Structures are given as structure tokens and as C-alpha cells.
Structure 1
Amino acid sequence: MPAARPQPAATPAAPRRARRKEARPGELIEAALALFVEKGFAATRVEEVAARAGVSKGTLFLYFPSKEDLFKAVVRENIAGRFPEWDNELAQFTGDSLELVRYAMHTWWERIGMTPASGITKLVMSESGTFPEIANFYQQEVIGPGHALLRRILQRGIDRGEFRELPLDYAVYSLIAPMIFLLMWKHSMTPCCPPSERLDPITFIDTQVDLILRGMLRPRRPV
């Protein structure tokens, strides 16, 4: 009978407790995002977040001292933390400014609008009166940097002679307003709309870009 072949030594598994500890902050943020979007900030209890993440409430408080801190972590992880990435893409973009506007709005929809994070805007708008501290945080971490990014896009078009001079502090709202509408529609009306009345987000965005940058007037024919 041939001698049994020696079996390779098993790779030692990382201790379960250590792996679980490393995963906890991300799991808590994911659970909190789902519950905040589903129930709102006021109605979400930290006990529910901990239970959904599979940890105790005491463990949650080790990472996030309060529900407000947990909300801030959710916003930074899913939206605010992406601005360096978007700033870098803007700096490297080589196309014309019309295409940059279209790219920015498409990219925002793909990376935020199509994810659970799309519900954060509605949450902040609906609960800002009761929780001004989360509205102030959202203003500083998301709205302010978002306005600055869009302002740079429009200024790029002006500097290149592609756009006319505009009051930029107000013009940025022409890009923001359609996206807010799309978010509110997604989280308020889409669940109850018949399929025939549901919006296609990409077609909506492309239509808005065309309206913003070209207007509705038909070009005049030369006399």
C-alpha cells in the first residue's frame, strides 16, 4: 500500500472575533443607512441599527457615541467622502463643458441616485426643522462642496467660451433642482406610480441637460 501523501498545513484562520470587530463599523453604517432611509432619522432607534448589524447597542456606542454621530458617518461614507474622487475627475476631464455637465449628472445618478444613499436628501429635507444640527452638517459636508464643484464646472465653460456669463451662485441651482426632483420622485411617487408613469432617470437627466444648456426656443432661421 503506498504511503499516504502528507497533507499541506492548513492556513490558520484569523480569529473570528478579530474579523468581526474590523467589520463592525461598516456593517453599522450600512444598517443605519437602510433604516434611516426606510424610517427616517427620528423614528430610527440605535437598538434597531445594532440588531440589524448583529451587534449589541453597547458595541454600537463604542464606535458612534450618538445617533447624530452615526448619521454623520453614513453621510461621509456614502456621499461626502466621494468629493475628492469627483474633484479629480473634473480636473482630468478633456471633453467640452456640455459633455462635462452631462457626465457629472449621469455619474451622480449612478453613484448616488441608484444606491440606498439616494434617500438621504429626502430625509434631511423632511426632518431639518426638527433636527437642525443634521441639516447644518449636511450643508457643510454635502451641499457646500456640491455647489463648489458645480460652480467650477460652469466656470470652466465660461472660461472656455462655451457658456455665456452667468450669476454662478444661482446658476448651479439649475443643475441641482432636476436631481432633487428625481430623488424626491424616486422615494415618494415611484412606489405608487403605475409602470406607464414611471420616469426613466437617464432620459430625464438628458432632457434636463438639453433644456438647461440649449433652452426651448427653436433657432431662428436666417432672414
Structure 2
Amino acid sequence: MNKTLDKRTQIVEASLALFAERGFDGTTVPEIAQRANVGAGTIYRYFASKEALVNALFQDRLAKLHQAFEQDFPGSSDSRAQFHHIMSRLSRFAETDLNALHFIDTHYYFRLLDEQSLKIYRKLFDLLDRFILSGQQQGMIKDIPAHTLILMVFGAFLGMYKQRMTSITMTDEDVLLRQVDQCCWDLIAVHI
């Protein structure tokens, strides 16, 4: 890896951690520079502004989450199997990049996002909307607006992971993840 990529990567990872911890308004460029072990001016060689940095992070991490959902998506399966796929990919994403998941959650409000970020955000939600609408057509998912259902599941999932980061000691993680998957499914599923 060359030095240029190393510095950019350092900046990206440091800013991701700080934005996840403190949010956009609570993070300064000098703090990012200090955490990344680079000069503040170095950040501006890679990103025109703090807003540009947030958008680059948002686009990169949201695109990775979208790719995780799309990879091997069981399109011909029923909604329950598709939901399990989405939840398992979300769990894997959280396991490998929990800061990114928290960052996405705290930075999806539109005042910071440029057109490219919004385009990637809509692309991810289009995939999830299609999943919800298909499940509603199958009679398996509640007839509630898709975005509401998505945000309910994402909020419950993220809440569990935040709690896990701070205090939950898990002895059997596979059991817990199956339980979370089932509880989140129960939030959106039609029960006959």
C-alpha cells in the first residue's frame, strides 16, 4: 500500500470513528487529524470540506451495505427467507464495521448529504422497498408503508447492537442472532 492510500485510509477510519462517537457537529477537523495522526491540511488534500468527507464516508459504507444485501439475495424465495438474508447480512456488516452502521444511522439526515449520497441512499431503500412490497403482495408482511417497516426493523436491530457494545455479555451469539431475527420479523410479519 502506498503512503497516499495509507493517509487517506487513516483519515477515513479516524473520521468514521469520531463521527460515529460524536456526530458531525461534535467532530472537528483538528480532532480528525489528531486521531488520524496527520496534519489538518492533509485532510483537505483528500476532501474539500468536512461535509465532503461525510459524504465520501456515507457513500462508501452505504454502497458496501447495499452490496452485502444484494450478494446472493434469494430472489425466488419467500419473504421470510429474504428477510433472514437481509438480517444475516446486516449482522455481518455490524460485526465487521459497527462504527459504519452507527455512522449511517446518525448521518442519514438530508442536510449533510449531497446528490450522490442521496442517490445511493435511495438505491438501498429501493431494494428494501421492493422486498417489503413483494412480501405485502404475498400476504406475509403487514400493510404499513415500507419505509416505516424498514425503520422499525433497523431501529430495533441497531438498538440491540448499541446495547451489546456497552453491556450485554453473550454466551451464545448464534442463539441471540436467531432470536433478534425472529423478533424483527415479528415486527413486520402478518400473523394469521
| TM-score normalised over the length of structure 1 | 0.67
Q: Residues 194 and 79 of structure 1: is their aligned pair in 2 closer, same or farther, counting only changes over 3 Å?
A: closer
Aligned to 1:51: 34
Q: Residues 195 and 54 of structure 1: is their aligned pair in 2 closer, same or farther, counting only changes over 3 Å?
A: closer
Aligned to 1:119: 102
Give the counterpart of 1:173 among 140, 148, 166: 148
Sequence identity, in percent?
Answer: 21
Alignment deviations for residues 107-150 of structure 1 (CA, whole Å, 9 cap, x no partner)? 1222146621121144237xx5xxx5225769724542232111
Q: Residues 80 and 63 of structure 1: is their aligned pair in 2 closer, same or farther, counting only changes over 3 Å?
A: same
Give 1:52 deviation, angstroms.
2.1
* Distance in 2 of aligned mates of 1:167 and 1:211: 12
Aligned to 2:70: 87
Give the counterpart of 2:118 among 117, 129, 140: 140
Give 1:194 deviation, angstroms.
6.5
* Distance in 2 of aligned mates of 1:194 and 1:19: 40
| TM-score normalised over the length of structure 2 | 0.76
Aligned to 2:79: 97
Aligned to 1:74: 57
Task: Summarize the alignment of residues 1-223 of structure 1 with structure 2, pairs less than 5 Å apart.
Answer: 19-84=2-67, 86-90=69-73, 93-112=75-94, 115=97, 116-124=99-107, 128=109, 133-134=111-112, 140-141=118-119, 143-157=121-135, 162-163=138-139, 170-187=145-162, 189-190=163-164, 200-215=176-191
Residue-pair matches, total: 187
Alignment deviations for residues 52-91 of structure 1 (CA, whole Å, 9 cap, x no partner)? 222211111010011111111111222234425533533x
Which ranges in structure 1 are unaligned for 5 or more consecutive residues?
A: 1-17, 218-223
Give 1:176 deviation, angstroms.
3.0
Q: Residues 141 and 81 of structure 1: is their aligned pair in 2 closer, same or farther, counting only changes over 3 Å?
A: farther
Give 1:177 deviation, angstroms.
0.8
Contact 2:20 2:102 in 1 (8 A): yes
Give 1:165 deviation, angstroms.
8.9
Which entry has the higher C-alpha Rg, 1 or 2? 1
Alignment deviations for residues 12-41 of structure 1 (CA, whole Å, 9 cap, x no partner)? xxxxxx821122222211111011112221
* Distance in 1 of aligned mates of 2:147 and 2:28: 36
Task: State the superposition RMSD in angstroms.
Answer: 3.4
Contact 1:154 1:163 in 2 (8 A): no
Q: Residues 71 and 202 of structure 1: is their aligned pair in 2 closer, same or farther, counting only changes over 3 Å?
A: farther
Aligned residue for 2:131, secondary structure, equals helix
Q: Residues 84 and 45 of structure 1: is their aligned pair in 2 closer, same or farther, counting only changes over 3 Å?
A: same
Which ranges in structure 2 are unaligned for 5 or more consecutive residues?
A: none
Question: In structure 2, what residue type is equivalent to 1:171?
Answer: A
Contact 1:35 1:49 in 2 (8 A): yes
